[in-house]
């Protein structure tokens, strides 16, 4: 009889061990899936900033080419990107350019700062800058 009781207690112990193992594995899987979710969110944020940086660099090059091709043309200090340039998770991105002369001398260059931000209430934004000869900078940018 004692031998049969010993066997039943061993079977009960195995059941408790199996349940505890399942709980430990379940908790581990929860933490793994949460870490995947946070990694995915971080990758999406990187994608948005990479898109903004690409748009900013392209727009700065475009503005410089426009200014060199037609120095007298009026270039507005802000605008929006067209639909063909809207990619990724950044919808309706907008840009704004400002300038500040870097010295008191007439020949001193001006720092051009181009800021690009996602529209529709997003807080994502990025700025790039370049030095231009002051005589090439439109007056509306200062």
DSSP alpha helices (H): ranges in the chain? 2-69
- Tens digits of pLDDT across the chain (142 residues): 455 555 655 666 788 888 999 999 999 999 999 999 899 999 988 998 998 999 999 999 999 999 999 988 889 999 998 877 666 677 889 999 999 998 888 778 999 999 999 877 678 999 999 999 998 899 999 9
Which CA distances in Å does 11 have to 6, 17, 36, 46?
9, 10, 38, 53
Say which residue the tokens 């946070």 belong to: 38
Domain boundaries along the sequence of the chain: 2-141
The pLDDT score that the predictor gives to residue 72 is: 87
The order of strands in the sheet holding 109-117 is 78-80, 94-101, 109-117, 125-133
| pTM of this structure | 0.74
| Residues sharing a CB contact under 8 Å with residue 138, sequence separation 6 or more, in sequence order | 67, 74, 75, 77
Q: What is the pLDDT of residues 30-43, one digit of tens each?
A: 999 999 989 999 99
CA-closest candidate to residue 140, choices 28, 50, 63: 63
Q: For residue 111, which of 90, 141, 76, 73 has the smallest C-alpha distance?
A: 141
């Amino acid at each position: 009889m004692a031998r049969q009781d010993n066997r039943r207690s061993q079977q009960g112990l195995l059941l408790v061990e199996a349940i505890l193992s399942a709980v430990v594995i379940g908790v581990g899987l929860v933490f793994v899936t949460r870490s995947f979710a946070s990694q995915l969110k971080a990758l999406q944020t990187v994608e948005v900033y990479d898109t903004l940086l690409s748009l900013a660099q392209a727009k700065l090059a475009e503005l410089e080419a426009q200014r060199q091709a037609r120095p007298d043309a009026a270039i507005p200090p802000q605008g929006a990107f067209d639909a063909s340039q809207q990619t990724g998770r950044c919808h309706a991105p907008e840009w704004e350019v400002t300038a500040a002369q870097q010295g008191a001398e007439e020949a001193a260059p001006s720092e051009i700062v181009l800021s690009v931000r996602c529209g529709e209430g997003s807080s994502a934004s990025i700025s790039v800058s370049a030095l231009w000869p002051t005589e090439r900078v439109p007056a509306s940018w200062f």
